[in-house]
Amino acid sequence: MTATNRLGTAFLLAWAVVLTALMGYTLIGVGPDSSTTRTAMTTAGASTAEVVAVFPNPGDWRDFREGVDALRRRGVLDVEEDADEDSVVIVTPRHGREVRFTRAPARGIVETRQEVRRWIGSRTPPLAFIGSSNTVLTAAMADELRSSGIPEATPLLLIHRATAVKTLPSEGRPAEPLLAIHPGRSFRFCLNNQREADLVVGCLINRRPGEGPSRVLMVVDPADPYSADLASCFENAIGALVPKAAIVAYRDVIAHCGADDQPCAEDLQWAERIARELIPAKGGDGRPAWVVLPLQPEPSRRLLGALRIAVRAVLPHDSPPVEVLCGDGIGEASLAEYAGLRPLSVWCASAAANLDAYQDAPPDVQISAEIVGAIAAAVDHAGPLTPERLREGLAGLVLSPESSSDPGRSLMFNADGERRGDHEGRVFHAGPEQAGILSFRKGPSGQWAEPTPIPPPPVEARR
């Protein structure tokens, strides 16, 4: 999963304009000519293509709609009047091709598979499916698509939140790369776990030059495929950049304390044990220890809270801040609790790109807008709309972060369907050194640029 960060509509416009221009179209100045083309296409009986978003929660669909509306407000594409609250029809700017996005609610694995099967067997099978909200459900979608029929006619899978590199396609089968389950027809728009881990570890090493940590204390939830995969990716990243660090994995830590984000007794017991492990040993080499939490949002927040309490109680007051590394499971509101306060220094991954137009929009708006804009560009041509034509269009995307509109991230895919390019994603940091959140990103040369401060969102209490 991911907890992607919010971007303003100005970025979304810049991104979509550059993307569609690279697909061979000019969006600036779209006016009466495009309306005439759309009328002609409709008169000729052009059908509306279908794309199905399999989202378990209504909030996922609201975030997706915000991405569509952001593009509409800036004139990047038109939106037809809503047929109902669970669908939206966009109209492409040049050829007036219509694409309907429909939400298919499905919470569990069985429901998710049933929805995919139902839509594939319908009178108007979709060009693609978008979803789902986590790795397990997304793997179920991919597995159902793989077994559905003729490969060239099978809908694509567009992944917007599942970040795991490897996962189990179904019960009883060995783990394999998520994008290899529905091979050649899956495209991941979010960052994967390896990219997140590489970003966080690389940024911290850049900001804390030296030999790196002597030890890494990592908490893994073996029952959660996301946690197990992200932990493996952190091990790879640390092994590449800090090969001498000893990694100690804790696999019996995660307690099921209900829905409360506050730490429970088991969390506090673990945190006290970790805090004592952080006490510098006499005669040691003086190198610090890192704590890595490759976990879902709720256990991440609980263990961070427990660790803050324990470190304050156990470590000397003049001890250096404890460096804590996370994936994308920590949102800005939670991260802001550690801005300007001792004793934790928290680093987490983010899918954010250009923050000049930063606004407090719902999460995942950026990825949703990228998916909609990419589909609009890929289908804005004459001729039949088929899954294969959409696949060819997405596979041929080349959006560079060095473009004149400077969207701040590349959008290209390798042969496996993973995003490629070195410029997407950021690292957010909160610690005692500053009162706000710092945002780090790599520049066009691959070097880390100076951080951008972000005022923290308000929090109810600071402890």
Predicted confidence band at 362 (pLDDT cuts at 50, 70, 90)? Answer: very low
pLDDT of residue 458: 55
Kindly report which listed range (302-306, 340-344, 362-366) carries the lowest average pLDDT score.
362-366
> How many angstroms separate the CA atoms of 428 and 331, rounded?
10
Q: What percent of the chain has pLDDT over 70?
A: 79
Q: Domains along the chain? A: 9-191+354-397 (3.40.50.2300), 193-350+423-454 (3.40.50.2300)
Predicted confidence band at 73 (pLDDT cuts at 50, 70, 90)? Answer: confident
Using the CB atoms, write b or e for 205-234: b if 16+ within 10 Å.
bebeeeebbbbbbbbbbeebbbbbbbbbbb
Kindly report which listed range (29-33, 151-155, 367-371, 426-430) carries the lowest average pLDDT score.
29-33
Residues 323-352 have a mean pLDDT of 90
pLDDT of residue 452: 87
Q: Give the chain's mean pLDDT.
A: 81
Residues 290-294 have a mean pLDDT of 96
In tens, the pLDDT along 409-427 reads 677 899 999 988 765 688 9
Residues 265-277 have a mean pLDDT of 89
| pTM check: above 0.75 | yes
Predicted confidence band at 30 (pLDDT cuts at 50, 70, 90)? Answer: very low
pLDDT at 229 over 90: yes
Q: Which residue has the higher pLDDT, 3 or 113?
A: 113
Q: What is the 3-state secondary structure (H, E, C) of the chain?
A: CCCCCCCCHHHHHHHHHHHHHHCCCCCCCCCHHHHHHHHHHHHCCCCCEEEEEECCCHHHHHHHHHHHHHHHHCCCCEECCCCCCCEEEEECCCCCCEEEEEECCCCCHHHHHHHHHHHHCCCCCCCEEEECCCHHHHHHHHHHHHCCCCHHHCCEEEECCCCCCEECCCCCCCCEEHHHCCCCCEEECCCCHHHHHHHHHHHHHHHCCCCCCCEEEEECCCCCHHHHHHHHHHHHHHHHHCCCCEEEEECCCCCCCCCCCCCCHHHHHHHHHHHHHCCCCCCCCCCCEEEEECCCHHHHHHHHHHHHHHHHHHCCCCCCCEEEEECCCCCHHHHHCCCCCCCEEEEEEECCCCCCCCCCCCCCHHHHHHHHHHHHHHHCCCCCCCHHHHHHHHHCCCECCCCCCCCCCCEEECCCCCEECCCCCEEEEECCCCCCEEEECECCCCCECCCEEECCCCCCCCC
pLDDT at 53 over 80: yes
Q: What percent of the chain has pLDDT over 90?
A: 48
pLDDT at 265 over 50: yes
Residues 258-277 have a mean pLDDT of 84
